[in-house]
Amino acid sequence: MLSGVERRTQIKEQLLAAQKPLSANFFAGQFKVSRQTIVGDIALLRASGEAITAAFNGYLYRNEQAVFTGKIVCKHTPSEAETELRLVVANGGQVLDVTVAHELYGELTGQLNLTNNQEITRFMHNYRTKQAHLLSELTAGVHLHTISCADAAQFNVIKAKLADAGILYSAD
């Protein structure tokens, strides 16, 4: 059995090499420890400065290849969520998170880290089968996304595509 330090080293190495998020259950099975032990290991790695982020489907290292990050404000119905996400990804972006301004709690942010259509399909499947609610449902559809992409020009293309679809929020 590995020590905690050895296990965390292996978790870090696997996350760095991974092409997709890896779940706590995946690591728990591999190292024959509880899921909660892995969650604690991830917390210790993050506290030590590792750039690990939690997504809906596991843990991953933040993508440092995208050099531009910006925020967009969107408004849409739940039935338009998939269209919104696919427009961002189809135009070279990654949807890092979603944030709403809650009247009681202030800003609430959910990590998404959606980088391709397969991840969007999985996210939407989870949304539908779990009968969950989108954060944007708390704010009549208004929400922010942090988007990463190659550069500001690409970000503007993404914004234009969302505007064309009637999803980019405008105060008009």
Residues 145/93, Cβ–Cβ less than 8 Å: no
Query: Annotated binding residue at 102?
Result: no
What percent of the chain shows pLDDT beyond 70? 97
| pLDDT reading at 101 higher than 80 | yes
Whole-number average pLDDT of the chain:
91
Average pLDDT, integer, range 104-111: 92
Q: How confident is the model at residue 145 (pLDDT cuts 50, 70, 90)?
A: very high
Query: Annotated binding residue at 76?
Result: yes
Instruction: Please count the residues of the chain.
Output: 172
Average pLDDT, integer, range 31-60: 88
Please state the pTM of the whole predicted model. 0.70
Going from the C-alpha of 130 to that of each of 21, 36, 137, 147, the distances in angstroms are: 20, 22, 16, 26
**pLDDT value of position 63:** 58
| pLDDT reading at 34 higher than 80 | yes
Query: Annotated binding residue at 125?
Result: no
**pLDDT value of position 172:** 63
Residue range 72-98, pLDDT digits in tens: 999 999 999 999 999 999 999 999 999
Domains, the chain, in order of start with CATH, read: 4-61 (1.10.10.10), 68-164 (3.30.1340.20)
Query: Annotated binding residue at 84?
Result: yes
